[in-house]
Amino acid sequence: MRPATMIASALRSTVLRRTAHALGELLLPRACVACARLLDRGDHDLVCGRCWARVHELPYPRCERCGHPLTREHCAWCELLPPYVRAARSVCWIPGQTAGAIVHSLKYAGWRGVAEHMAARMARLSWPSDVIAERTALVPVPLAASRLRERGYNQSALLARALSSRCHVPVNESCLVRTRRTATQTRLTPEDRRHNVSGAFAVPAGERTALRGAHLVLVDDVITTGATLGECASTLFDAGARIISIVTFGRAPAIGDAG
């Protein structure tokens, strides 16, 4: 093929691609998965810039260990964490109209791509230097097999994979399994939440050697009372992990917290 012919062919392909893209935008305009408004031409995310600006990030100052905003000299939130949990970090408050809608779009509406943009913000969180130096694997909170079949994916695993590429820490999705399906935690009291997830997780026998002495980072979308993540951390610690840290996109405020 002559150079002039090749150039003409390339130009035609470019024009066709741009025409197809413009036609797609006209017939199937993209809308924000959080607020349903049409996305601006410059928005390449599934969530519009206005919605990201409305996400209420956890205010400063924050506790160095648990990452919770400090409203008093003594951090009461740390008392919820067992001693083998080294650090916990979250991006924003949940529930919240915008942040809650973003999590809902990932968890229940099938918008898997939102995990990439949530993880991008989780990757910017600051950690104690020893956590960065020691962490050996990201461990997503597992779903029960029946719920995984219903949803088609585990939102925590999507977040962990997206974080892995940004933090350069491998994901281990096989070291922690859910042994039974639990009731939804939404309307349960803190005590009922702990009872609901008690004994709901296990480490397969073949995974225990790899966990011995490891510093693992549990990944989930939201932490509320810490019952689920606490049970996961306990299971990993009992199986030989030396220490566990926790990272989530959202965190439920405690009584007395300022939004």
pLDDT tens digits along 156-203: 999 999 999 999 999 999 999 999 877 666 666 666 667 667 778 999
Task: Judge whether 44 lies within some domain.
Answer: no
Q: How far apart are CA 141 and CA 218, in angstroms?
A: 7
Say if residue 17 is in the same domain as residue 65. no
Task: Judge whether 1 lies within some domain.
Answer: yes
Task: Judge whether 42 lies within some domain.
Answer: no
Mean pLDDT of 234-258: 91
Task: Judge whether 37 lies within some domain.
Answer: no
Residue 97, pLDDT score: 84
Longest dimension (CA), the chain: 76
Residue 199, pLDDT score: 77
Task: Judge whether 43 lies within some domain.
Answer: no
Say if residue 25 is in the same domain as residue 62. no
3-state secondary structure of 34: coil
Residue 180, pLDDT score: 83
Q: What is the CATH number of the domain that holds 145?
A: 3.40.50
Say if residue 162 is in the same domain as residue 216. yes
Please report which confidence band the pLDDT of residue 10 belongs to, taking 50, 70 and 90 as the band edges: low
The domain of 21 spans 1-29
Residue 185, pLDDT score: 63
Task: Judge whether 257 lies within some domain.
Answer: no
Residue 188, pLDDT score: 60
Say if residue 178 is in the same domain as residue 64. yes
Q: How far is the CA of 226 from the CAs of 43, 158, 170, in angstroms?
A: 34, 20, 24
Say if residue 118 is in the same domain as residue 238. yes
Say if residue 132 is in the same domain as residue 11. no
pTM for the whole structure: 0.85
In this model, does residue 56 exceed pLDDT 60? yes
Residue 21, pLDDT score: 43
Most confident of 91-95, 137-141, 254-258: 137-141
Say if residue 91 is in the same domain as residue 213. yes
Q: Tokens 């405020």 sit at which residue? A: 253
Q: Please write the tens of the pLDDT for every residue from 12-36.
A: 655 455 544 444 444 456 899 999 9
| Residues forming beta bridges with residue 247, ordered by sequence position | 89, 219
Say if residue 96 is in the same domain as residue 14. no
Say if residue 14 is in the same domain as residue 131. no
Task: Judge whether 144 lies within some domain.
Answer: yes
Say if residue 7 is in the same domain as residue 93. no
Q: Where are the alpha helices (DSSP H) in the chain?
A: 3-27, 49-54, 97-107, 114-122, 129-134, 145-151, 155-167, 190-197, 208-211, 227-238
Say if residue 94 is in the same domain as residue 19. no
3-state secondary structure of 58: coil
In this model, does residue 117 exceed pLDDT 90? yes
Q: What percent of the chain has pLDDT over 90?
A: 65
In this model, does residue 8 exceed pLDDT 60? no
State the DSSP code for 78.
G
Q: How far apart are CA 45 and CA 54, in angstroms?
A: 15
Please report which confidence band the pLDDT of residue 73 belongs to, taking 50, 70 and 90 as the band edges: confident
Q: How far apart are CA 259 and CA 89, in angstroms?
A: 16
> Cβ distance 178 to 157 under 8 Å?
no
Task: Judge whether 36 lies within some domain.
Answer: no
Domain total for the chain?
Answer: 2
Looking at per-residue pLDDT, the higher value among 119 and 147 belongs to 119
Say if residue 187 is in the same domain as residue 88. yes
Q: Please write the tens of the pLDDT for every residue from 216-240.
A: 999 999 998 888 999 999 999 999 9
